[in-house]
Amino acid sequence: MLWRDCCGYLTQFASTATRLTIFSLAIFLPLLSLPWIDPAISPSLGNCICSPMERFWGGNGISGNKNMVKQLQHCGVFSSERVAEVMEKIDRGCFVTDGTPPYIDSPMTIGYNVTISAPHMHAMCLQLLEPNLQPGMHALDVGSGTGYLTACFAIMVGNQGRAVGVEHIPELVNFSVKNIQKSEAASLMEEGSLSIHVGDGREGWPEFAPYDAIHVGAAAKEIPQALIDQLKPGGRMVIPVGNVFQDLKVVEKNSDGTLSIRNETAVRYVPLTSRDAQLRGS
């Protein structure tokens, strides 16, 4: 039985004290640097530490994108019908590498020491950002990887908005463009309201700033100032922050430029770093 399955089973039936013990183990085991616990090496753990929704499926039990979305709703991962619609429209199967099972609730390696996040994390981030992904708005996806979330953003903001992905691995940019061209967001890329760029995501993408929504798909040691600067007053950023201990933070910029920051959940992401450090796996 995988650690994820043990964690899900026990937390479903154990006492509160036992659940706290299990959760503590889920946090402290990564300190042992065991390769099977690191989603960048073996992605079975998932982005959300000891994620309660992962107990419902972890093998090949889900077939098809629509069934995956329905299962996420059933597990209570998200409630927004608008998020359900966009996730059903943008098929995750178009955004994974050949031979990778796309509908398992787990991150999957895409090469270059990075992963595509687990479906539950995509759903969670889409729901957190939904108020700032209205038609006509601007959205930035930092560390856009396979292009999946960028494509979802593009559908939500529409052809009058702007969805921008930034990825510092040129091969992944090429891969993401091909993926998007196979998806329901292809026409938005052709029209120019969706674009993917090679660049250091820590610097954002000033050309289309300010952004109503910013998503960061890797863990920063601290929130990059460039992203704060490019966040529009009234805008919202979702970013994992930390090293071994990471929190998914929701950052909102107030009308006077000050920030309101809250922690959403504990997570485990690959680090937001330079291209060379990422390729070295450090």
Please state the three-class secondary structure of the chain as a single string: CCHHHHHHHHHHHCCHHHHHHHHHHHHHHHHHCCHHHCCCCCCCCCCECCCHHHHHCCCCCCCCHHHHHHHHHHCCCCCCHHHHHHHHHCCHHHHCCCCCCCCCCCCEEEECCEEECCHHHHHHHHHHHHHHCCCCCEEEEECCCCCHHHHHHHHHHCCCCEEEEEECCHHHHHHHHHHHHCCCCHHHHHHCCEEEEECCHHHCCHHHCCEEEEEECCEECCCCHHHHHHEEEEEEEEEEEECCCEEEEEEEECCCCCEEEEEEEEECCCECCCHHHHHHCC
Residues near 30 by Cβ (< 8 Å), separated by ≥ 6? Answer: 37, 38, 244, 268
From 44, 51, 106, 117, the catalytic residue: 117
Q: Is 106 one of the catalytic residues?
A: no
Q: Take residue 141 and report the two structure tokens written for it.
A: 């996806």
Backbone angles phi, psi at 215, to 5 degrees: -115, 135
For the sheet with 211-216, list strands across it. Answer: 194-198, 162-167, 138-142, 211-216, 231-242, 246-253, 259-267
Question: Catalytic residues, which ones?
Answer: 117
